[in-house]
Amino acid sequence: MDGAIHSHREELAARANRQYGYFTAGQASAVGYVSNHHSYHLKQGNWLRIGRGLYRLGGWADTPDSEAMRCLLSLRHKDGTIQAVASHSTALCLHELSESAPEVTEVTVPPGTDREAPPDCRLHCSELPRCDIMRKGELLYTRLLRTFCDLEPVLPRQEWENAVRRAVENGKIRKELVMKMGWLKSAESPFQESPNTMNNDASAGRRLHLSSLSRAGFTLVELLVVVAIISILASLLLPILGKAREMAREISCASNIRQIGLGHQMYSDNNHGYFIRADYSAFGVSYYTWSWALGLNQEQYVPDISIYACPTMMSFNPLYSEFSTGTASSSRFLYVHYGYNVYHLGSSYKYTWNWTSPPAKFSQVKNPSATILLADSFGRTSYLSGIYVGTYQIQDGTFSYQILIHDRHRDGAQVQWVDGHVSHEKDACVRFENDGAVGGTAEYFDRN
């Protein structure tokens, strides 16, 4: 009998150690403590009552980790499983990047959770994919990238940027990823003028001013020569500056399409390898109401809708500038500036001629490095009328010429391939789309 009691005590202690001293009535019963004996252990001081059906062994100190564990167990599912995840400022503290311990514990719970939160716990409601969650013992909390995405709209900007810098300095996140995400757009200037330098400059300025008073002004010929030189320099520099500006836009566009492609990849990883469906118009849901771009945003695979806007496309026509301001309505997602390979990946229409057929699985794509996932796009009808409008899909030439790849960057387009790499493709509209239009195999779109 004593051996059984000792075994029960060890099993419960092992469970509590993984949960910062906490355990539930169900967990105690599972290791052999009969439910009508729980009150005995409370009276003896062996256990401490924390909440309904929640206890703690003595000798444990309160820490941010233990407070988070308490909230997660308080919000457990009816079957006893942990369904809440520490997030936002609490997750930042668990990553050891917070300047101070948060005043309240913030957790994210699935939609429909009916558990009442403890008074010192703040709830956020969202369906977190597994790839956004990490574990410390039995404590679940959001990964650092998701934590920063959650905190960006709610933390003061300076405090948020300081946390990002600490993460880079501590090696918790790569600097290249931070720069690609656009989180730290500009670094502090390494050049600081000293007071001595400023004084020397001021003295030099006074000497130059005094010496200029001792000579006559410019003659008309000298002025004309200066104007001519400035004109020549401007004619040489303006095209270079224009090319540099367009190159910057092209780099930004490549970053946008790479992030959208990453969202597609994460969606596929979390959905048994299936690509996201292009739209649900075949099921009676208007594509003005839902399309793939809106779906990736709603499920937080692409949380920032500004990356749906190509800077070069906006310079042609800022008709749908809502993407850059983050105010786009659901119907506007039809006009994102990057088209999706909808007939071969976003559906199986090409292979079944049935619009209700499921989208492709990643494993069905025989040559991912040569199969288009996304590309710069526009609608040809609007294009011919002089208005550039993006579109959420691209079609190979076997279907129509109304939805096309748009060669808007140095006579070429940015293309995101299924294997994840992005490339600038010269004359992409003609090279890729004509492949199917002349009776070819549409090999750049075809999953086979």
CB 99 within 8 A of CB 162: yes
Say whether pLDDT at 136 is over 70: yes
CA distance 374 to 260: 9
Task: Give the least confident one: 188-192, 258-262, 401-405.
Answer: 188-192
Say whether pLDDT at 368 is over 90: yes
Q: Give pLDDT, residue 436.
A: 46
Q: Give pLDDT, residue 185.
A: 62
Say whether pLDDT at 203 is over 80: no
Both 141 and 108 in a single domain? yes
Domain end, chosen from 13, 43, 60, is at 60
Residue 209 covered by a domain = no
Both 11 and 27 in a single domain? yes
DSSP string, 112-180: T--PPPPTTEEEEE----GGGEEEETTEEEE-HHHHHHHHTTTS-HHHHHHHHHHHHHTTSS-HHHHHH
Task: Give the least confident one: 46-50, 223-227, 279-283, 320-324.
Answer: 320-324
Cα–Cα distances (Å) from 421 to 21, 123, 214, in that order, read 47, 38, 65
Both 266 and 303 in a single domain? yes
Structure tokens at 310: 């190509």
- pLDDT for 290-311, tens place per residue? 899 999 999 999 999 889 988 8
Cα–Cα distances (Å) from 445 to 119, 197, 328, 396, 406, in that order, read 54, 61, 29, 7, 15
Both 329 and 386 in a single domain? yes
Both 138 and 86 in a single domain? yes
Both 317 and 344 in a single domain? yes
Beta strand 54-57 pairing with 412-417 = unpaired
Q: Give pLDDT, residue 187.
A: 41
Q: Give pLDDT, residue 142.
A: 94
Say whether pLDDT at 417 is over 90: yes
- pLDDT for 243-271, tens place per residue? 788 888 899 999 999 999 999 999 999 99
Both 56 and 66 in a single domain? no
DSSP string, 299-347: TTSS--GGGGS-HHHHHH-GGGTHHHHT---GGGGGG-SEEEETTTTS-
Give the pLDDT band (50/70/90) at residue 108: very high
Both 281 and 412 in a single domain? yes
Task: Give the least confident one: 121-125, 186-190, 285-289, 381-385.
Answer: 186-190
For 413, phi and psi rounded to 5 degrees? -130, 155
Q: Give pLDDT, residue 435.
A: 52
Residue-number span of the structural domain to which 410 is assigned:
252-437
CA distance 230 to 236: 10
- Pick the residue with more confidence: 363 or 45? 363
Percent of the chain with pLDDT over 70: 83
Task: Tell me which residue has tokens 């279907």.
Answer: 399
Both 289 and 303 in a single domain? yes
Residue 303 covered by a domain = yes
Could you tell me the strand order of the sheet in which 22-24 lies? 22-24, 54-57, 47-51
Q: Give pLDDT, residue 375.
A: 95
Residue 237 covered by a domain = no
Q: Give pLDDT, residue 2.
A: 53
Residue type for position 189: S
Domain end, chosen from 186, 205, 229, is at 186
Q: Give pLDDT, residue 183.
A: 84
Task: Give the least confident one: 207-211, 223-227, 377-381, 432-436.
Answer: 207-211
Average pLDDT, the chain: 82
For 213, phi and psi rounded to 5 degrees? -70, -20
Number of domains composing the chain:
3
CA distance 113 to 196: 65
Query: What average pLDDT does this structure show over 155-181?
Result: 87
- The enclosing H or E element of 52 equals none
Give the pLDDT band (50/70/90) at residue 38: confident
Both 68 and 35 in a single domain? no
DSSP string, 195-258: HHHHHHHHHHHHHHHHHHHTS----HHHHHHHHHHHHHHHHHHHHHHHHHHHHHHHHHHHHHHH
Secondary structure letter of residue 429 according to DSSP: I
Structure tokens at 217: 């002004």
Both 276 and 310 in a single domain? yes
